[in-house]
Each structure stands twice: as structure tokens, then as C-alpha cells.
Amino acid sequence: MSKTSRHGGARSRRSIWGTVAKATASTVTLVALLGLFGIVTVFVPLRGAIDHGDGEASHAVAVGQTTLQTVCPARMQLADTGSYGDAAYRSSEGDITGKTRFASFGSLYDSSVTDISGDNKQKTASVDMSDSTKAFIHQSGADKKSSLHTTRLLETNKGSGAASAMASWATKGDLQGVSSTRCVVPQLTQSLLLPGTQTGWTQQLVLSNPSDKSTTVAIEARGTKSGEPIALATDSKVTVAANGETVVNLSAAAPSQQGLYVTLNSTTTAVAAVVRVVHAEGLVSRGSDFATSVGVPSETLMLPAVASGSDVTVEAFAEKAGEATLSWVTKAKTIKAKTIRLDANKVAVLSLGKAPSDAVGVSVSADVRMNAAAMCVENGSDQSDFSLVQAADIQEVSAIALPEGIDALIDVVNTTDDKTTVTLTAYSQQGDQAGVKEITLSGHQAVSLAPKDVAKNAAALTLHDTGKAVAWGAVVRSDAVSKAKVSGLGYIGSTSLMPMQASVRVNRSLDIVQ
């Protein structure tokens, strides 16, 4: 018998018993697993038995807004241009002309200009997505319809955003002079600080809704007579249609006030708010300008671009009673002007008189948080004009667009005690960087310069201010108005180019795994 055959029987017996053993073990294992599965399926652990130590975590996520919308108002208009009565006594908008400059900067994906409904898209230059140093610049006429500027960003970072502006001017008629404003961002809640509503003043609140949903806006007004809300003579709530506009006559709603503080609350969608302010004495034009929403109340405010030699009146509002000191900011120094008493929830109006010949702004220091705005009046031989100046929103990066046909004087003010250096960059109509100028300012020093001092034919300017120390704005005039020997004065404030971000906190928990 060979060796192979001799061991074959033994191997067969071991294989049989091994198979039996494996089968038995598999059966036991299967029964154990089924039992364990039953326990896991049926047993629900008590809440306190869950280990929360490594199962919960929390972290914040920054969410940035990459689609930006700004509304540029229609040119200045009269509330009533009816052709009734003697032709010599009819109101007229004269030879009014309007221009809007649209500008976007930084990391751009797309930028477009339409009417408020999103239709009638204008032909514009394409955005160069490969070059973040190049801006999108577009110029158009401003007629009786508002414009919507939509900018889409590739990413949200400092220096990326939009800053547009509109200006209109006339040498004849009831709108002689210059009116100008930066374009505005729609908001759910906003407030405006306005001049008086006495005889001869008209204030048209224009509410623009660029969304595809209608909304209701609640209007609350406070004046100079008491600290209580004014019982409006018109509806306190108005509907603004989707992709539409509504105009409210604030002079009729809250008449006979020396100043007005208006708060707007929209229920459904954000709306843009601009007020067309026009003043006349009989047949004499006394000027016009646009008013936009005020910023966050503060104990210290800077109102740059106050025209030198103009008659300046300041309106102020605070929710708590207090006191504020107003000072002239000149190129050489700061000069204390007057102190104003603030009653809670009541508009205060103070005349500062004529601005010094080298004035560039008005500073406000108060013991309560407040808002302030200035009206600068320039008188001519047989008419006058005024600008409405808002407190500056001081940011690390900001911009001013310069509509075609205007002459601008840029006022730059250091609001701190420390020396600081800022950088102005000018952009051409083609969007190229046309010039760069560094400005070093000692504590509380101010300078004035023309855009051409940075670059010839500058269409827009950006300012980089890492110390968040500088307030700036533009005094606006028109060569055509000046040549006609008509007083003309406007104002364009700076627009932030800082990212619009929110911090969202995310919580992770295993409590739901049971």
C-alpha cells in the first residue's frame, strides 16, 4: 500500500468531523448574531446613556452675499408739472439733463444694468473675470425711470462690490442747479433724516422694489414739534408692487415741520428709498437734491464734503435725550461751532451759519447715539441751490462713482488722533486703473483734491484705508450750470466695498442617532 493510500482514510475521517464542527460553530454564531440583532433592534437607549462627549460639535460658517443690487434713482423731477393756468406761472423742469455712472470692482463674474423691473437690459462691456484689478464701468443717461444695477461676484472679499451714482442739472426752469446722489442698496428697515416740510417744500419718497414679490411698507415720521410719532395725513402703510415703484408725498403726509425723521419697515422684501427734495419760493427756484437713508447711530459722526462758503444747517435725531457738539473741519484745524440739545425722539435743527472758506466738513460729538445730516445752501443772484450731506460710512475699502458732466471736489478727512496713509485709485471709463495717489494725513487733518489730481478723466475712485480712519465725499457742481451763472451744488457720498457677510453657527449632535 502506498503512503498516499495509507493516509487517505484518516484524512477523510478528519474532514467529516471538521465539517460537522464548522457547521455547529456557524449555527451557534448565527444564533448569537440574531439574538444580538434582536437586542439592538428592540432596545432603545435612555437619553442619558448617550455619550455626548465626542458626538456634539459647533462651528461658525461665514456666508457671503455674491449677488448685489443697487437702485439708481431717476433724475430730479417736480411733483406737479400740470399745464394749467397762465403759461408764465406754470412749473417747468427746464433743460434738465441727467447722467448715471455704474461701477463694480474686484472679483467680478457679471454686471448688468436694467430698469427696475429687470427688463430693457442696457448694452454694456463684458466683465474680464481673469483680471480683478479691472473695474466694470458703464455710463448712461438718467431719465424719468430708475435703474437697477446688478453685480455678481466670483467671491466675497475686501474691495469687491458696486458703487454707482446719479446726477442731474438744469440752467432753466424750476430745477435750476445740481442734484446728485450715490445709488442705494435695498433694505428691509431704514431711516431718513430730512429738511422741513413747510410751505414751498416738496418731498417725494420714492420706494423701489426690485424683487418679484410685492411688499407693504410701514411709514413712521417724527418731527420738530414733539417726541411722539406724527399722525400722518396720508396712509401710514403703502404697497410697493413687485418690480415696481411707489411715490409718497411726505410734505403732504407730515406738513409744517422744520425737520423730519422717517423710518421705513418693509414686510416682505427689501426696498430702496430715495427722497426728491425740492424748494421754491413762489416763482423763485431755491434748489433741489436727493436724500438717502442714514447709517447706524453713533456718538461720533463726520459729515464730509460740506461746501466752503455755503450756509449750513444741521438736522439731528436721537432716541435718548442728550447733547451734541458740532465743529467745523477745515484743512488747517477743527473749530468748535455750536452745541445742540437733543430731546428724545425729536428732530433738532441748528443753523451753523456760513462755512469757513477752507471748510471740508462738520464733525459731531455727542453723549448719546444719534444721526445727523447737513443742508448746505449756496445763494445766487436770483436763485439758490443746496446739497444734502450724510454722515460718512467709514470702511477699509470704499468707492465713489463720478457721473459724466459733473465737476467734483473730493474731501478727505482723518477722523482720528493718529497719522494715517490712504490710497486713492482712479479708474477710466474702460475700467482700467488710470492712476494711484497716496495721501498721508496727520491726526484730524483734511485735504481737498480734484479727481484729475489722481488721473485725467477719472470715472470712479476707490479708497483703501486699512486703519478705518478716513471719511470722504464729493462736492458736486456742473460746468454747464456755472457757465450759465446759476448756483449749483450737490453731494455724492462714498459706498462701502467691504463684503456683505453673516456668520452662521452650525451645531452637530448624535442625539438623533438612537
Report DSSP letters for 159-181, one per residue. Answer: T-EE--EEEEEESSGGG-EEEEE
What average pLDDT does this structure show over 245-254?
Answer: 97
CA atoms of 481 and 501, how far apart (whole Å): 42
CA atoms of 250 and 202, how far apart (whole Å): 8
Q: What pLDDT shows up at residue 331?
A: 95
What average pLDDT does this structure show over 483-499?
Answer: 97
**Amino acid found at 262:** V
Q: N- to C-terminal Cα distance for the chain?
A: 67
Residue 253 domain flag: yes
C-beta of residue 469 within 8 angstroms of C-beta of residue 442: no
Q: What is the CA radius of gyration of the chain?
A: 33
Q: What pLDDT shows up at residue 37?
A: 38
* 450 or 43, which is more confident: 450
Q: What pLDDT shows up at residue 502?
A: 59
Residues in the chain: 514
CA atoms of 446 and 505, how far apart (whole Å): 42
Q: What pLDDT shows up at residue 78?
A: 95
What average pLDDT does this structure show over 490-507?
Answer: 82
pLDDT at 311 over 60: yes
pLDDT at 43 over 50: no
pLDDT tier, 122 (very low <50, low <70, confident <90, very high otherwise): very high
C-beta of residue 165 within 8 angstroms of C-beta of residue 178: no
> For the chain, what is the domain count?
1
pLDDT tier, 46 (very low <50, low <70, confident <90, very high otherwise): very low
pLDDT at 167 over 80: yes
pLDDT at 84 over 80: no
Grid cell 427746464 is found at: 94
What average pLDDT does this structure show over 488-503?
Answer: 88
Q: What pLDDT shows up at residue 5?
A: 38
C-beta of residue 215 within 8 angstroms of C-beta of residue 269: yes
Residue 272 domain flag: yes
pLDDT tier, 47 (very low <50, low <70, confident <90, very high otherwise): very low
Q: What is the pTM of this model?
A: 0.85
Question: By residue range, what is the domain housing residue 283?
Answer: 66-501
Q: Where are the beta strands (DSSP E) in 6-88?
A: 57-64, 67-72
CA nearest neighbour of 110 among 147, 137, 136: 136
Residue 514 domain flag: no
Angle at 163 between CA 296 and CA 464, to 5 degrees: 80
Minimum mean pLDDT among 50-59, 99-108, 220-229, 505-514: which range? Answer: 50-59
Residue 513 domain flag: no
Contacts of 373 (CB under 8 A, 6+ apart): 193, 194, 291, 294, 303, 314, 315, 388, 389, 390, 391
pLDDT digits (tens, 9 = 90+) for 62-81: 567 899 999 999 999 998 75
The rounded mean pLDDT for the chain is 88
Percent of the chain past pLDDT 70, that is, above it, reads 83
Q: What pLDDT shows up at residue 255?
A: 97
Contacts of 284 (CB under 8 A, 6+ apart): 382, 383
pLDDT tier, 510 (very low <50, low <70, confident <90, very high otherwise): low
Contacts of 246 (CB under 8 A, 6+ apart): 206, 207, 217, 238, 239, 240
What average pLDDT does this structure show over 261-286?
Answer: 97
CA atoms of 109 and 128, how far apart (whole Å): 8
C-beta of residue 446 within 8 angstroms of C-beta of residue 331: yes
Q: What pLDDT shows up at residue 35?
A: 43
C-beta of residue 64 within 8 angstroms of C-beta of residue 501: yes
Q: What pLDDT shows up at residue 9?
A: 43
Q: For residue 57, what is its C-alpha cell?
A: 460639535
pLDDT digits (tens, 9 = 90+) for 177-204: 999 999 999 999 999 999 999 999 999 9
Q: What pLDDT shows up at residue 111?
A: 96
CA atoms of 508 and 514, how far apart (whole Å): 15
Q: What pLDDT shows up at residue 163?
A: 98
49-67 as b/e, with b when 16 or more CB fall inside 10 Å?
eeeeeeeeeeeeeeeeebe
Q: What pLDDT shows up at residue 352?
A: 98
CA atoms of 391 and 42, how far apart (whole Å): 67
Residue 202 domain flag: yes
pLDDT digits (tens, 9 = 90+) for 358-416: 999 999 999 999 999 999 999 988 999 999 999 999 999 999 999 999 999 999 999 99
SS in 3 state form for 130-161?
A: CCCCCCEEEEEECCCCCEEEEEEECCCCCCCE
Percent of the chain past pLDDT 90, that is, above it, reads 79
Residue 47 domain flag: no
pLDDT at 301 over 70: yes
Residue 476 domain flag: yes
DSSP 463-489: EE-TT--EEEEEEEE-HHHHHTT----
CA atoms of 29 and 84, how far apart (whole Å): 103
pLDDT at 82 over 90: no
Q: What pLDDT shows up at residue 33?
A: 38
Residue 53 domain flag: no
Q: What pLDDT shows up at residue 91?
A: 78
